[in-house]
Structure formats: C-alpha cells, structure tokens
Structure 1
C-alpha cells in the first residue's frame, strides 16, 4: 500500500487515519498495544506522530491488515526480529515505490 503523506515533523492522528484509511480509534488502540508506537502529546493531549512513528505504523499496518497477523502474532514478530523486520520492511516499501514510479513512467510513454 502506498501512502501519500507530506514531509513534516509531526502528523496528527487524523492525518494518519485518513492516509491509512482506518479509524482514529484503531490507531489509539495500536498505540496501547504496541510499544513501538510512541506519539508525543501536546499540552492539550493531542497525539503528534513523528516520521519514525509513521514507519512503525506502516509496519504494523502491513503485518496486521495486509499479511493477516493477529495482534499477538505481530507482537511476537516484532519482538523476535526488531531491527531486521523494520529494515526489511523499509526495503520492500522503497522497492514498491520505485516499481509504481516505473509503471507510471511506462504508462506516460
């Protein structure tokens, strides 16, 4: 899944929910369930997600929504392969972005 987000320091929960096409309540639930999601909260208590949080959220979305992992299965996968899983997922995401760009260029020709 390709997610279009502008380059920013912080993203609101609403922006991410819209980009991932999920409810904000799901993002709040995942925040409680997974230790890798740690959004900052401002004085009002609004969650502000960093680009690192977005990477982790993409990994969670991929594992749970696309690959069909259960919550416990996703936790075990992340715990067993913490750094490797993130690196592998980032490589796959970048290759998919390159593929979509090349397909777009091909269609333009």
Structure 2
C-alpha cells in the first residue's frame, strides 16, 4: 500500500496569508473584524493578528454572503445572527463540492 501524505493544516494564519487567500486588501479584513462578532483573531503583543482555521471558515462565509449572494453588511450580520448553523452547514457543502470539482478537473487534465 503506497504511503499517503497527510494534509498539513496550520494552527494560525497571518494577516498576509489570509488576505492572499481571499485576494483582498488587509484593510478589508480588519474592517470585517470590527463589523462581525464571529471574527476573533488572536493578537500578539505587537498587535499582529493570527487567524485560526475557524476564523478563516467564518471569513469564507462572510465573503460568500457579501460577494456571491449580494447581501449588505447589515443583511449579512442579520443572516449570521439568525441562521448561523444552517450557514455553516451550507458553507461546508460548498467547500466539499469545490474540492470535488478541483479533483475532477485534475483527473481530466491527466487523461
């Protein structure tokens, strides 16, 4: 049986890494941190922000609501307040479908 490498996941992501993930300015992430209570990155003594994987998932949900669904900030806050569990479930389904699509595209490229 061939050796399969485990996927390495980080415990914390820096602000630069998170802004590169979402292809946005760091100021937008800081703004969303002030606006949404679910974003709580850790800060060190210098004030540098470190995002947990849960924070990154919450940012994915926020960007999905605002960019893809067209919610306003107030509408996204209200939606998250009322439907947090449903929204997280939907985001996990979307992530798994995106991973499946990426895998299938890789298989097609190899054929």
TM-score scaled by structure 1? 0.90
C-alpha separation in 2, matches of 1:10 and 1:87: 23
* Pair member with larger Rg: 2
C-alpha separation in 2, matches of 1:52 and 1:97: 18
Structure 1 residue 107, shift from structure 2 partner: 2.2
Provide the residue aligned with 2:62 in structure 1: 60
Structure 1 residue 27, shift from structure 2 partner: 0.2
Deviations 1:80-106 (A, max 9, x none): 101111111111111111112112202
C-alpha separation in 1, matches of 2:16 and 2:54: 17
Matching of residue 77 in structure 1 with residue 79 in structure 2: yes
Structure 1 residue runs of 4 or more that deviate by more than 3 Å after TM superposition = none
Q: List gaps (5 residues or longer) in structure 2.
A: 1-7
C-alpha separation in 2, matches of 1:17 and 1:92: 20
Q: List gaps (5 residues or longer) in structure 1.
A: 1-5
Please provide the CA RMSD for this pair.
1.1
TM-score scaled by structure 2? 0.88
